[in-house]
Homo-oligomer: A and B are copies of this chain.
Amino acid sequence: MANEAMETIDFEELLKLADEKKYRQLKETLLELNEVDIAQFIEELDSEKTVIVFRMLPKAMAADVFAELPVEEQTHIINSITDKELSDIVEDLYVDDAVDMLEELPATVVRRVLENTKPDTRKLINQFLKYPDNSAGSIMTAEYIGLKKNMTVEQSFAYIRKHGIDSETIYTCYVMDEKRHLEGVVTVKDLLMNPYEKLVGEIMDTYVIKVTTSVDQEEAVETLNKYGLLSLPVVDSEDRLVGIITVDDVMEVMEEEATEDFEKMAGMLPSEKPYLKTGVFQLAKNRIPWLLFLMLSSTITGGILVRYENAFAVIPLLVSFTPMLMNTGGNCGSQSSAMIIRGMAVGEIEPSDILKVIWKEARVGVVVGAVLAVANFIRLMIQYPGNTMICVVVVLSVFVTVIVAKAIGCILPIGARVLGMDPAIMASPMITTIVDAVSLMVYFQLACWLLDMSV
């Protein structure tokens, strides 16, 4: 999508400057730009130019640009620069960016990076690498401003001026005792609104919203989101502050989690990397397990068809309605399950709402079922005049199938959640397979009764 800010950047022009080796002019133009755009520009260069351009950047900017680059470019740069340069960059990275990078880099490169990291930083990185994937600990960073209760506003500003440059955010400061227990939180806005001589202890908010390192990242995201915070403190099991989660990390997690849900709901294992960067075999690997499982499950539906073989040998027309019936059932079920799964993902529907949800879906099912049944009846009476009983069978089946599909579509995801499973697996493909079988049974059973056939 085109966007305002980007339109003003002439990447063609920049590439031309690089090609013509007009490096001084290129540097001047680059320094005007945002780090994100510079990273995007570096990505487009050929590999020899990458390092030349990267080395142009002033030290303060280099780490920021580096953090925005994809892992291939990072590896290439790490392999091309000196130990001193590498050390400067790693020390300048926020620890969460450093950890993200180390988790992606090839092992040999990781070794070289850690060799050029100061012992303190290395210790911190190693500690952060240990937090389980998808935990609050895994997305936090260590660069925050910590104040003491007995500091004045003036002293706090002095402290922020001195240490703020290395902090990921300075706008929310955390007040701790000597043992790093979190005692309160104070924003720069609070500090600005109060006189210089006031003590931090007097203006801090002691009601601190926080999470522990081990909670799921989704919970951390929900908490930050619910309270509209710019950063969320993360404490260990003894209530000592170990890091903060900032709003930009949260947005990344929100996007990742939504993508994961889309993938799961389409019957895929979630992928680690973006689509265009995922290999063919990895994509295939993510897709095959559910396909195999669903393929084998749908032989049950096939079995049902065979069981009623006699019925459609007598009236072959009956078979022609099966795709319509199965599709409608599947679609109705998917609609309900998609609403419920999403509702649970954003925290709007809780498992305790199950009765409310079933009652609602039952009524929606009756309305939808009635409308579809009537529409079908009209069509069938026009298309197959004279076959009234067959029409009645089809129409009744549609009605019952819709209601059953809606019920299955809402009960299964909530049931999965109650059992501690991920509701997203009870989405479209799974529901369709189950509803297919049910709708065929309803259909043929109705046919046997109403058309007076025996199986």
Q: For chain A residues 13-36, which have a beta carbon within 8 Å of chain B?
A: 32-34, 36
A327-B294 contact given A255-B254, A335-B268, CB 8 Å threshold: yes
Residues of B with C-beta under 8 A to A5: 209-211, 223, 227
Task: Give the CA-CA distance A364 to B328 in the complex, in Å.
Answer: 29
Query: Which candidate, A42-50, A83-91, A119-127, A156-164, is the interface stretch facing chain B?
Result: A156-164
Task: Give the CA-CA distance A209 to B290 in the complex, in Å.
Answer: 44
Q: For chain A residues 328-368, which have a beta carbon within 8 Å of chain B?
A: 328, 330-332, 334-335, 337-343, 346-349, 353, 356-357, 360, 363-364, 367-368
Residues of B with C-beta under 8 A to A281: 367
Residues of B with C-beta under 8 A to A372: 288, 291-292, 295
Residues of B with C-beta under 8 A to A165: 193
The reply on A133 being an interface residue by CB < 8 A is no
The reply on A247 being an interface residue by CB < 8 A is yes
A320-B303 contact given A294-B331, A372-B295, A429-B331, CB 8 Å threshold: yes
Among candidates B1, B306, B347, B348, residue contacting A316 with C-beta atoms closer than 8 Å? B306
Encoded as 1 (CB less than 8 Å from any B CB) or 0, chain A from 288 to 324 comes to 1011101110110111011001001100110111111
Classify the interface of chain A: helix, strand, loop or mixed: helix
Residues of B with C-beta under 8 A to A298: 323-324, 327-328
The reply on A389 being an interface residue by CB < 8 A is no
The reply on A134 being an interface residue by CB < 8 A is no
A34-B207 contact given A1-B347, A275-B343, A429-B334, CB 8 Å threshold: yes
The reply on A138 being an interface residue by CB < 8 A is no
Count class of interface residues, chain A: 35 or more
The reply on A376 being an interface residue by CB < 8 A is yes
Residues of B with C-beta under 8 A to A291: 328, 331-332, 335, 368, 372
A428-B334 contact given A1-B347, A161-B193, A371-B284, CB 8 Å threshold: yes
Task: Give the CA-CA distance A347 to B332 in the complex, in Å.
Answer: 30
Q: Is A215's CB under 8 angstroms from B4's CB?
A: yes
Residues of B with C-beta under 8 A to A303: 320
Q: For chain A residues 236-292, which have a beta carbon within 8 Å of chain B?
A: 247-248, 250-251, 254-255, 258-259, 261-263, 265-268, 274-276, 280-281, 283-284, 287-288, 290-292
Q: Is A302's CB under 8 angstroms from B324's CB?
A: yes
Task: Give the CA-CA distance A194 to B150 in the complex, in Å.
Answer: 25
The reply on A226 being an interface residue by CB < 8 A is yes
Residues of B with C-beta under 8 A to A313: 313, 316
A276-B161 contact given A230-B230, A295-B372, CB 8 Å threshold: no
Task: Name the residue in A215, A309, A331, A371 with the highest tally of chain B Cβ atoms < 10 Å from its Cβ.
Answer: A331
Encoded as 1 (CB less than 8 Å from any B CB) or 0, chain A from 50 to 77 comes to 0000000000000000000000000000
Among candidates B251, B275, B330, residue contacting A339 with C-beta atoms closer than 8 Å? B275
A259-B228 contact given A165-B193, A247-B247, CB 8 Å threshold: no
Task: Give the CA-CA distance A247 to B169 in the complex, in Å.
Answer: 14
Q: Is B276's CB under 8 angstroms from A335's CB?
A: no
A335-B251 contact given A222-B1, A372-B292, CB 8 Å threshold: no
Task: Give the CA-CA distance A305 to B327 in the complex, in Å.
Answer: 14
Residues of B with C-beta under 8 A to A210: 4-5
Task: Give the CA-CA distance A5 to B222 in the complex, in Å.
Answer: 11
Residues of A at the B interface (CB closer than 8 Å) are 1, 3-5, 32-34, 36, 157, 160-161, 164-165, 170-171, 188-189, 192-193, 206-207, 209-212, 215, 218-219, 222-223, 225-228, 230, 247-248, 250-251, 254-255, 258-259, 261-263, 265-268, 274-276, 280-281, 283-284, 287-288, 290-292, 294-296, 298-299, 301-303, 305-306, 309, 312-313, 316-317, 319-324, 326-328, 330-332, 334-335, 337-343, 346-349, 353, 356-357, 360, 363-364, 367-368, 371-372, 375-376, 379, 398, 428-429, 432-433, 436, 440
Q: Can you list 20 residue pairs at the A/B interface with Cβ under 8 Å?
A: A1-B218, A1-B222, A5-B223, A157-B192, A247-B251, A259-B342, A262-B265, A274-B348, A275-B348, A276-B348, A284-B371, A287-B332, A291-B335, A291-B368, A302-B321, A306-B320, A313-B313, A319-B319, A334-B429, A428-B428
